[in-house]
Structure 1
Amino acid sequence: MNYVTFGGVTVGLCILGYQLMGWYPGRKQLMKDPVKHASKLLPFLASWAYGCLTTLGIGGLIGTASSSVLGLSNWLGDAALVWGVGESVGQQAGAKTFVPLSSPGAALVLIATCVFIAAVKKASEDNSKTLKLGAWCGITLGTSAGVAGFAAVPLAQAANWCGDNLYAAI
């Protein structure tokens, strides 16, 4: 099972804060056309959900890549906490339990990986960066014990349900 340290969560929250500050149009503009501005967050949120799903019991190359990103994020965040603010490291911040993906759910993650790669290749440079940051943020926050970690349970259940229904229909 993948676990995340406080440093990894810190990296994920830094990515989330960076993305939100780059997106925020200002109160006046947001109140004027909230749907237009909220829709600009959809690519980030979709790739966040994908990144979160890759941490939930996925093996193979996708799971290895996700675990590597999580391990690197843990190390970077722990190093930043030690050198930046003098905090101790290595404390697990992960959720105690999570809903693993079923076989059809895991197959759906493979399909989502193909779609994600195509989206990154097709997107403009800025949108490609947004997609990559979203997936990275999802990987780091998907197994946290906070709100993002709680979001992993419904995401896994939705992936399992969609996979079950997709493969039952074929």
Structure 2
Amino acid sequence: MNYVTFGGVTVGLCILGYQLMTWWPGRKQLMKDPLKYASRLLPFLASWCYGCLTTLGVAGLIGTASSAVLGLSNWLGDVALIWGVGGQGGQSASRETFVPLSGPGLGLVLILTAVFIAAVAKAGDSGVLKRGAWCGICLGTSAGVAGFAAVPLAQAANVVAGHVYEAV
């Protein structure tokens, strides 16, 4: 399992804050057509879910890449906390328990990886999908609300993948 530090959570929250501020259309526009503007968050949310899934017991190349991103984020966030604001880094901000992905759930992550790569290639260089996955990797195992969202996400992935593989 991957462990996230307070620095890694800080990096994830910075990415989330950046994304929300660049998305924010203003209160007047949002009240005028909420569905239109809320739907613009869906690519980020979908890639956040993918990033979160890659941290939940995934091994191999995908798990190694996810662990590397999380390790780098932990280090960057810890350095920023220590040198930027005089705080302490390196403390674990992970939950004690998590729901690992089953065999079919891991198969679904592999399928989602292929879809994610195709989506990033098709989207060009907007960065929304990459930021979403990075944010999901940083916050997927955190002890906060985002980390607890990973539990139903993993359960849903296991159930959906189980039905897909059963139907095939």
Scaled by the length of structure 2, the TM-score of the pair is 0.99
Corresponding residue for residue 17 of structure 1:
17
Q: Give runs of aligned pairs for residues 36-55 of structure 1, distance below 5 A.
A: 36-55=36-55
| SS of corresponding position for 2:96 | coil
Cα deviation for residue 89 of structure 1 reads: 1.2
Corresponding residue for residue 84 of structure 1:
84
Of 140, 161, 164 in structure 2, the residue corresponding to residue 163 of structure 1 is 161
Runs of 4+ in 1 over 4 A off after TM superposition: none
Corresponding residue for residue 139 of structure 2:
141
Cα deviation for residue 125 of structure 1 reads: 2.2
Q: Give runs of aligned pairs for residues 109-148 of structure 1, distance below 5 A.
A: 109-126=109-126, 129-148=127-146
Number of residue-to-residue matches in the alignment:
168
Q: Deviations over 1:2-56 (max 9, x none)?
A: 0000000000000000000000000000000000000000000000000000000
What is the RMSD computed on CA atoms of the aligned residues?
Answer: 0.5
Q: Deviations over 1:123-148 (max 9, x none)?
A: 1322xx00000000000000000000
Equivalent-residue separation in structure 1 for 2:164 and 2:141 (angstroms): 26
| SS of corresponding position for 2:57 | coil
**Counterpart AA for 1:102:** S
Q: Deviations over 1:49-102 (max 9, x none)?
A: 000000000000000000000000000000000000011111000011000000
| SS of corresponding position for 2:92 | coil
| SS of corresponding position for 1:125 | coil
| SS of corresponding position for 2:101 | coil
Q: Give runs of aligned pairs for residues 71-110 of structure 1, distance below 5 A.
A: 71-110=71-110
Gaps of 5+ in 1: none
**Counterpart AA for 2:165:** Y
- Percent identity at matched positions? 77
Equivalent-residue separation in structure 2 for 1:106 and 1:161 (angstroms): 12
**Counterpart AA for 1:59:** A
| SS of corresponding position for 1:155 | helix
Scaled by the length of structure 1, the TM-score of the pair is 0.98
| SS of corresponding position for 1:136 | helix
